[in-house]
A and B are shown apart, each in its own frame.
Chain A
Amino acid sequence: MDFAIFGYQFMQNAILATFLGGIACSVIGVFVVLLHMPFIGVAMAHAAFAGALFGLLIGVNPLITAFAFSFLVALIIGPLADRGQLSPDTSLGVIFSLMLGVAFLIIGLMPTTRSEALNLLWGSVLTITHTDLFFLAGVAVVVVGLVVIFYKEAQAAVFNRQIALAVGLPATAILYAILFLTGATITVSLNSIGGLLIFSLILNPAAAAYQLTYNMKKMFLLAAVFGVASGWAGLLLSYVFNLPSGATIVITSSLIFGVCALFSPKRNRRKTPVKPVTEK
């Protein structure tokens, strides 16, 4: 195998992009998994995808319209998710299918199906530009930075928003911040991973980490490691077997999840008896 390829600029960009995207997506994924709202990621990803296509149609930078669409959807999802007791999945399903409909409508309206449009769907990490990398780095730093700074608030809000509110934390603001960051992360990852595949890079590494640990900090770290590992392994497989990179990245992350689920210590939990509270 010839590894001279790694000397090329485009490959180095791809390695950096999967590193940054892997970290940002998997950190966001931890929230998606712990809030038990996987549909949030799906709905947001399709909103960003439809938004980017809309940008292509009207001749505006797709990043801007993708941001706008996902923020709009975050504003709709926010109150649904915040209401708490009722599962917002039905409404999220409607939003998701609406956004997919809008996306296909825009593709239909385009005079010719352009390669940019397909790139947004499947992603193309090998053609990523410096501007893309710049935005990806910005969002990754903001996401990780905010989680580090507001770790205790985020931890309380994902445990139970009602309790977080009751102890005097701005739990609603935290929820909206998580939604907006999800939108931003998806938007900047569209070009490299693609609108259809991005969701699995959000969900899989976090879901894999969730199988392995009872410690939230470790879950964030493991998710980030799995996210980056999926990106790099996927990139390598894509190069070696000449396959589309988005697909290999997503399949690798799914395999990592499968292995973690298989060997999860949480699977056999019920076999170890829990000692009852002894009265004093």
Chain B
Amino acid sequence: MPEPIINIENAVVSYREDEVLHGISLQIISGEFVGIIGPNGAGKTTLLTIVNGLGKLVSGSVQVLGKPVTNNDRHELRKQVGYVAQAANIDPRMPMSVREVAMIGRYGILGLFHRPGKKDWNIVDEALEMVGMSHLANRPIGHLSGGEQQRAAIARCLAQEPKIFLLDEPTASLDWKARTDILELVRRIHDTRHLTTLFVTHELETLPRTCDRMVLMKAGRIIGDGPPNMMISAENLAKLYDLPKAVIAERHPSLHQHKEK
């Protein structure tokens, strides 16, 4: 087995009194596209934040790109990890254009005292082109729709030229078309840029077609890990969401048929 690009061992994380990750271990190989699903409060977001050093471990260890994630070099690490969060409310009057927002992705790599040059703007324009946002490049960022803002966020990550791509429910609150478009876009980017992708989502319908591996999380633990067609079963979903299997079959008939075959 090749050396994992992300190696999490017995990670324990707590916020104030509450433990949110109870000793999670997860190894991810370079180039994998991993979908992470689970109910609200399962610790999915926390799992992403310990990979880019935004979250703090109580115990256990996390190695990313062959280096332990420590307080000292977390800024260095983050420059190599792209992070797209849930669509946030952007002030409609925010005085920044889409292009300027995408450029933020390069600010960390550029470092202090360096201004973006022509090369950086070219990289940003290329990223906007890739997410299909070139025609909106000079629009104020606050004027975009939710789906467009998420595309801009993905362009920002692309401009960062990361090795690892973390997406935290980027499709939440978007309409069906925008959701499927973004999922396909992420897969395309993953393939063309040879990234390692962790995708947290609630998209049970579309994610299995997109990802190579699925991790099921519940109450701070990993309760399932494997290829999507094995993970998405009525049994697993029943366990994951505390629902009787009959209800899962009723709400998710395709699963039922799948099992019957």
Which residues of A are in contact with B by a Cβ distance under 8 Å?
Answer: 34, 36, 149-150, 152-153, 155-156, 159-160, 162-170, 210-211, 213-216, 218-219, 266, 269, 274-280
Contact = CB atoms under 8 A, between A and B. Distances in A.
A152 B95 contact: no
A169 B95 contact: no
B108 A168 contact: yes
B96 A169 contact: no
Nearest to B109: A168
Nearest to B116: A152
B210 interface: no
B201 interface: no
A274 B140 CA distance: 11
B218 interface: no
B198 to A, nearest CB: 14
Contacts of A214: 93-97, 140
Contacts of B151: 277
Given A269-B143, A276-B145, A279-B132, A166 B95 contact: no
Contacts of A34: 91, 94-95
B88 A210 contact: no
Contacts of A279: 132, 181
Contacts of B79: 167-168
A166 B83 contact: yes
B75 interface: yes
A121 to B, nearest CB: 33
16 contacts: A153-B107, A159-B141, A162-B85, A164-B104, A164-B107, A166-B52, A167-B78, A167-B160, A168-B109, A211-B93, A214-B93, A214-B97, A274-B145, A275-B135, A277-B133, A277-B147
Contact of A167 (B104, B132, B136): B104
B144 A274 contact: yes
B76 interface: yes
B26 interface: no
Given A163-B156, A210-B93, A169 B108 contact: yes
B107 A167 contact: yes
B228 interface: no
B132 A219 contact: no
A238 to B, nearest CB: 32
B52 A159 contact: no
Shortest 9 CB-CB contacts between residues of A and residues of B: A168-B108, A168-B79, A167-B108, A168-B78, A166-B83, A214-B140, A216-B95, A168-B75, A156-B104
A216 B147 CA distance: 24
Contacts of A170: 75
Nearest to B142: A214
B95 A219 contact: yes
Given A152-B107, A215-B95, A266-B93, A159 B136 contact: no
A166 B132 contact: no
A159 B94 contact: yes
A156 B153 CA distance: 13
Nearest to B178: A277
A275 B135 CA distance: 10
A91 B109 CA distance: 36
A36 B145 contact: no
A163 B132 contact: no
B112 interface: yes
